[in-house]
Amino acid sequence: MLRSSPGQPDLTGLRVDAASGRLLGARQVESPNCDDRPPGLVPELIVVHGISLPPGEFGGPWIDALFTNSLPADAHPYFAGIAALRVSAHLLVRRDGAPVQYVPFTRRAWHAGQSRWRGRENCNDYSIGIELEGTDSGGYERAQYATLARTIAELCRAYATLTEQQVVGHSDVAPGRKSDPGIAFDWPLLRTLVRYDLEVAA
């Protein structure tokens, strides 16, 4: 399995604390771009995104900066058009599989924008947003699939309202407006790994 391949991240300490909404084992960077979920709403959907800043480039501080409202507009031509955005995600998975958390899972992150899933509007209200560092067509790393799968399995264990079937792409909730995580994303592989993680802990 991918879990034992050389270079894979150590996922043994990755756990979701349901009460605090924290992913234990993730680097924590607090984003101001969040608020409370509407009364009575809990996580019922996981939305997978893709992101790179600048587009097609990986590493660096720019995603942290975007989600904390500190992206310098003059650091790259692309940044001028997005520096004023107020956006976030619950989690980012870096190219090496390292997870970074910006918003507790118990709160509403501003990740999906105008969105709908199975007739329900405003997916931010009832979803968890997970960004993968990558591009639509360039593919994602084995380590990212491993971390994403383990995180999804842990979320399903922590929140009874989530199952492995409630995982979609940004393109699924905002068709025509968003295309991520893109054509290169391997959904069969992710679902296989999530089932494996759930069975191991059963």
Q: Residue 33 is which amino acid?
A: N
Q: Is the pTM of this model over 0.85?
A: yes
- Active-site position among 44, 57, 121, 131: 131
pLDDT at 202: 61
Q: Over the chain (202 residues), what is each successive 10-residue block's mean pLDDT?
A: 54 94 98 98 98 97 98 98 98 98 98 98 98 96 98 98 97 98 97 95 64
The whole-angstrom distance between residue 40's C-alpha and the CA centroid of its chain comes to 23
Query: What residues contact residue 190 under an 8 Å CB cut-off, 6+ apart?
Result: 145, 148, 149, 152, 167
Question: pLDDT at position 4, please?
Answer: 40
User: Domain locations in the chain?
Assistant: 16-201
Residue-level length of the chain: 202
Residue 24 has a pLDDT of 98
Q: How far is CA 5 from CA 8, 10, 80, 188, in A?
A: 6, 11, 40, 19
To the query of whether residue 131 is one of the catalytic residues in this protein, the response is yes
Q: What is the pLDDT of residue 200?
A: 84
Phi, psi (degrees; rounded to nearest 5) at 63? -70, -45
The full DSSP string for 16-78 is EETTTTEEETSEE---SSEEEPPTT----EEEEEEE-SSTT---SSHHHHHHTT---TTSSGG
Burial of 2: CB neighbours in 10 Å, binned 0-12, 13-18, 19+: middle
Q: Which CATH number fits domain 16-201: 3.30.530.20, 3.30.70.20, 3.40.80.10, 1.10.274.50?
A: 3.40.80.10
